[in-house]
Structure 1
Amino acid sequence: MDLNAKPADRMAELPEKTRTFLAQLREEDIDTLNAGLKLVVATMTVGRAVKWLIVGILGLFAGVVMFGESLLKILAWFKPPPG
């Protein structure tokens, strides 16, 4: 599709089903679609943030477990041997 063409010429390049759909839209429908697109973008942004939050929490948990095990091993060096 040529983005420098006039809007009417760009519409002619679209599939018939798409042109029919767009021709039936009212002003309120266009506003709803614009709001819906903003909602989808915001949801994707929040989803990325939550994903990295979960990854960070899991990494922190694994790090704390490994640190605890290492600390217990070091403390075991200072205990007298059994017997």
Structure 2
Amino acid sequence: MQNFKLDEPTLKNLIRHKKKRLVQSPNSYFMDVKCAGCYKITTIFSHAQIVVPCVGCSTVLCQPSGGKCRLTEGCAFRRKYS
């Protein structure tokens, strides 16, 4: 009998379609994005379908691209884990 954990995704399992994985999980996530101009942090959905402006200086943080949103050059981000 093999000993492996179901909650730890393997590389092969991450590449699969979200519904064909051993444990179903979405491809989307939330992330904290730091503005390059004013260094304010904004929470953005990875598949945002609208242009997201910065709260402090109103510069564009991300643009929709038909799937995952495209971050503006110079913005730093980190993925949020639950």
Instruction: Calculate the TM-score normalised by the size of structure 1.
Output: 0.19
Structure 1 or 2, whichever has the larger Rg, is: 1
More helix by share: 1
More strand by share: 2
Instruction: Calculate the TM-score normalised by the size of structure 2.
Output: 0.20
